[in-house]
Chains A and B, each alone.
Chain A
Amino acid sequence: MIEFDAVRKEYAGGTVAVADFSLRVPTHSVVALVGSSGSGKTTLLRMVNRMVEPTAGAVRIDGVDVRSIDAVPLRRSIGYVLQAGGLLPHRTVADNVATVPVLAGRSRREARSDALGLLERVGLDPALADRYPAQLSGGQQQRVGVARALAADPSILLMDEPFGAVDPIVREQLQAELRALQAELGKTVLFVTHDIDEAFALGDEVIVLREGAEIAQRGTPTEILASPADDFVASFVGAGTARRTLRIREVDGRRVVVDGDDRPTGVLEADAREGAP
């Protein structure tokens, strides 16, 4: 469990990135922090592994204040996935995945052979092991980033806009795979994104942030979509837009779901089954 207890981050010069933020991320659940730039979401994420120290308040992992843990081993014990994978450009794929175990003292040979298994786990051909990051596609780099974060088998994963740099089709694919992986691994995941659809696709709980990391609304994706707390959240989730206002139309005896622009998005399941041969 990750716990933010009234944390504040004020930079020299008076900029307040986080005013007063409290949150509990329950063990084995995925919590998505969503907000536009300046909402302080990345600052919050970096407080967990002490890349940012709060000016006031405390972050606790399983009840232990992170300030009481040395930053370097703390970071090795937490998986961190960065935008565009955040890979080391001068190391091969296998060496990137093996980064944390090798830093922690495991032999390079053992860590590399473990890395091959992890590559398969995130859907990559182990034949890519000896390539360099620049030789991979954006989606492949992201997968390597996820494999690296999993290498030390951490119980906590922090993800900072991990799928922001890939095209929408690959992004959806990666999101689906991450959901499958999470169903199997049950990590405690804190996830940061500016993309509300990504937050809805991955979060068990979604926290919509305003400037200064003020919580505009928190709830399950369904709750937030069903009743946005205010105009800010409503416009953030796009409530009332054509994409979010679905209607049913009868077509050849089947019920097709269409959006506000009459564009079809799917068929109601009961009908689909009846129609199947």
Chain B
Amino acid sequence: MTWLSQNLHIVWGLLADHLLLSVPPILLSLVISVPLGRLAAGSRRWRTPLLTGTGLLYAIPSLPLFIIIPAITGFALRSPATIITALTLYGCALLVRGAADAFASVPEDVRLAAEATGHSRWAMFWRVELPLAGPVLLASLRVVAVSTVSLVTVGAVIGISSLGTLFTDGFQRGIEASILTGIVLTAAVAFALDGLCVLAGRVAMPWRRAVAA
């Protein structure tokens, strides 16, 4: 406890760094995966290459990925951009399949009714398919949110500061309180972002609660 009170300002800074590294990849992978998932769900030709291709991304170990990305993009190895890119790729690996399943879960008769009432393709997507894909999409997003928060810590190994720095530092210097603080706070951030996803889902999909009641 004395360690924590003495290092509080460092911990706060690392917590902020952690959030700044976690939230962008979660949002980016959502924005990228929704159209790709819609494409995979709606086109037989695109389905297999998209799902297999993005699924394979997850098989790449994270440390090599942190090195490949700067080589391809020219980002500095120790820059947040490298971590954010890597975690966005991992997020897409999970979310493209999740989004494809989500769009496939939209009932065919509802789609037909929307078509019969004169929804354009654009209106069909925004007003019917996306909201009805919401519940399944949200389930995948929650997994991505939690996994992204834990993957951010790996960046500490290549020297990008986050709550993971508390592990690497703590191990090197033998400070147990530092390691413990890192673990507890990482879990807390994961819980908090997961809760935020659930809350956003409630606000965006009011019909689900009304119907369940």
* Interface residue? A37 (CB, 8 A): no
| Also in contact, A103 and B117, with CB within 8 A (given A82-B112, A88-B110) | yes
Please indicate the chain B residues that have their CB under 8 angstroms from the CB of A90 in the complex: 131-132, 205, 207
* Interface residue? A49 (CB, 8 A): yes
* Interface residue? B114 (CB, 8 A): yes
Please indicate the chain B residues that have their CB under 8 angstroms from the CB of A123 in the complex: none
Contact with A along B151-191 (1 / 0, CB 8 A): 00000000000000000000000000000000000000000
Contact with B along A98-125 (1 / 0, CB 8 A): 0110011000000000000000000000
- When A and B form their complex, which 8 residue pairs have the shortest distance between CB atoms, in order from nearest? A86-B113, A76-B118, A75-B118, A80-B116, A134-B211, A90-B207, A132-B207, A90-B131
Please indicate the chain A residues that have their CB under 8 angstroms from the CB of B123 in the complex: 103
A76 to B118, CA, bound (A): 5
> B210 touching A135 by the CB < 8 A rule?
yes
* Interface residue? B120 (CB, 8 A): yes
- Which residue, of A73, A103, A104, has the highest number of chain B Cβ atoms within 10 A? A103
| The residue from B113, B207, B211 contacting A82, defined by CB atoms under 8 A apart | B113
> A132 touching B116 by the CB < 8 A rule?
no
- Which residue, of B113, B117, B207, B211, has the highest number of chain A Cβ atoms within 10 A? B117
B residues touching A (Cβ–Cβ < 8 Å)? 107, 109-110, 112-120, 123, 128, 131-132, 205, 207, 210-211
| The residue from A83, A89, A100 contacting B117, defined by CB atoms under 8 A apart | A100
Q: For residue A86, which residue of chain B has the nearest CB?
A: B113
> A89 touching B207 by the CB < 8 A rule?
yes
* Interface residue? A148 (CB, 8 A): yes
A residues touching B (Cβ–Cβ < 8 Å)? 49, 51, 72-77, 80, 82-84, 86-92, 99-100, 103-104, 131-132, 134-135, 148, 158
> B116 touching A86 by the CB < 8 A rule?
yes
Q: For residue A82, which residue of chain B has the nearest CB?
A: B113
Please indicate the chain A residues that have their CB under 8 angstroms from the CB of B112 in the complex: 51, 82, 86
Please indicate the chain A residues that have their CB under 8 angstroms from the CB of B117 in the complex: 75-76, 80, 99-100, 103, 148
> A72 touching B132 by the CB < 8 A rule?
no
Please indicate the chain B residues that have their CB under 8 angstroms from the CB of A73 in the complex: 118
Q: For residue A160, which residue of chain B has the nearest CB?
A: B116
Closest-CB distance, A211 to chain B (whole angstroms) = 23
Closest-CB distance, A188 to chain B (whole angstroms) = 17
| Also in contact, A88 and B115, with CB within 8 A (given A82-B109, A134-B211, A135-B211) | no
Closest-CB distance, A178 to chain B (whole angstroms) = 18
Please indicate the chain B residues that have their CB under 8 angstroms from the CB of A92 in the complex: 207
12 A–B contacts from the bound complex (CB under 8 Å)? A72-B120, A74-B118, A75-B117, A76-B117, A77-B118, A89-B207, A90-B132, A91-B207, A100-B118, A103-B120, A132-B210, A132-B211
> A49 touching B207 by the CB < 8 A rule?
no
A271 to B210, CA, bound (A): 54
Please indicate the chain A residues that have their CB under 8 angstroms from the CB of B118 in the complex: 72-77, 100, 103-104
> B207 touching A75 by the CB < 8 A rule?
no
A158 to B113, CA, bound (A): 12
Please indicate the chain A residues that have their CB under 8 angstroms from the CB of B107 in the complex: 89
> B128 touching A88 by the CB < 8 A rule?
yes
Closest-CB distance, A272 to chain B (whole angstroms) = 45
A91 to B208, CA, bound (A): 11
Q: For residue A158, which residue of chain B has the nearest CB?
A: B116
A60 to B132, CA, bound (A): 35
> B119 touching A103 by the CB < 8 A rule?
yes
A103 to B123, CA, bound (A): 8
> A89 touching B116 by the CB < 8 A rule?
no
Please indicate the chain B residues that have their CB under 8 angstroms from the CB of A77 in the complex: 118
Closest-CB distance, A77 to chain B (whole angstroms) = 8
Q: For residue A85, which residue of chain B has the nearest CB?
A: B113
Please indicate the chain B residues that have their CB under 8 angstroms from the CB of A103 in the complex: 117-120, 123
- Which residue, of B119, B123, B205, B207, has the highest number of chain A Cβ atoms within 10 A? B207
Please indicate the chain B residues that have their CB under 8 angstroms from the CB of A99 in the complex: 117
- Which residue, of B110, B115, B116, B131, has the highest number of chain A Cβ atoms within 10 A? B116
A255 to B53, CA, bound (A): 79
Additional pairs, 18, CB under 8 Å, beyond known A72-B118, A132-B207, A134-B207:
A51-B112, A75-B115, A76-B117, A82-B112, A83-B109, A84-B109, A86-B116, A87-B113, A88-B110, A88-B113, A88-B128, A90-B131, A100-B118, A103-B117, A103-B123, A104-B118, A132-B211, A135-B211
